[in-house]
Amino acid sequence: MALLALHAVSKSYGALKVTDVVSLSVSEGETLGILGPNGAGKTTLFNLISGDVRPDAGRIEFQGRDMTALAPHQRCRLGIGRSYQVPQPFGAMTVFENCVTAASFGAGLPEHEAYEVAVDVLARTGLKAQANQLAGGLTLLNRKRLELARALCTRPKLLLLDEIAGGLTEHEARQLVDELKMLKAGGVTMVWIEHVVHALLAIADRLVVINFGAKLAEGKPRAVMADPEVQRVYMGMEPEAVA
């Protein structure tokens, strides 16, 4: 049974069909990469999965259960954690407080357990030394790490990562990929939207390419990147990554 399954999901904003009859599934333990040009509808797909946006048509299942009508906090409790493209920490709180808040309200943990989860997650995301810093003063890499940490504190079975490597230097992106590889080795199922193709290729088991709201290609990463249609769509974007 798939951990997550989308069945013919559609979403329009006025005349703009942003998600066009998309079906896809994610297996337990898998890392699925999602690629697509700007405005293709990738973040909307995450919004549909996390419940921030309701579909006009179609069905979304998690662990075999229809969750199409559930609110975002209910989906979070079921085990869907997400990071946002633009990090959204509570800037006036410390890194640790941000994590405890995510564990308390996202996962619904009692205080002492939320503290334990926060300590564990900070160690796993390389943020232990920054635990008492205000989130608003972090570097971009650490803001990205905190975005990841806050999602992990909700104890997700499925982790949705939205352009978490965006804006990072090569070296920083490599560090982040190493941390994600450790999470993957620990059994976390991930769906990762990313424009930094080489980062995605370093970890994804499978790729889906979205264009104009619909699936353009799907399969093993190397085969998808060698697809002439995918290369055409990416031409001028990251040509070296598809060579």
**Residue ranges binding ligand ATP (CB under 6 A):** 13, 16, 18, 36, 38-44, 85
| C-beta closer to ligand ATP: residue 42 or 184 | 42
CA 13 to each of CA 20, 55, 64, 143, 231: distance values in angstroms, whole numbers, following the listed order? 12, 11, 28, 31, 28
CB of 143 to ligand ATP, least distance (A): 17
* Minimum CB distance to ligand ATP smaller for 183 or for 209: 209
Q: How far is the CB of 195 from ligand ATP (least distance, A)?
A: 7
Which amino acid, 82?
R
CA-to-CA separations, 131 to 8, 65, 233, in angstroms, rounded: 43, 37, 42
**Which neighbouring-strand residues pair with 209?**
35, 217
CB-nearer residue toward ligand ATP: 41 or 106: 41
Residue 191 C-beta: closest distance to ligand ATP, Å? 13
Q: Which two tokens stand for residue 162?
A: 């939205």
The C-alpha atoms of residue 25 and residue 1 are separated, in whole angstroms, by: 10
Q: In angstroms, what is the minimal distance from the CB of 196 to ligand ATP?
A: 12
How far is the C-alpha of 11 from the C-alpha of 148, rounded, in Å? 27
Q: Which residue lies nearer to ligand ATP by CB, 109 or 217?
A: 217
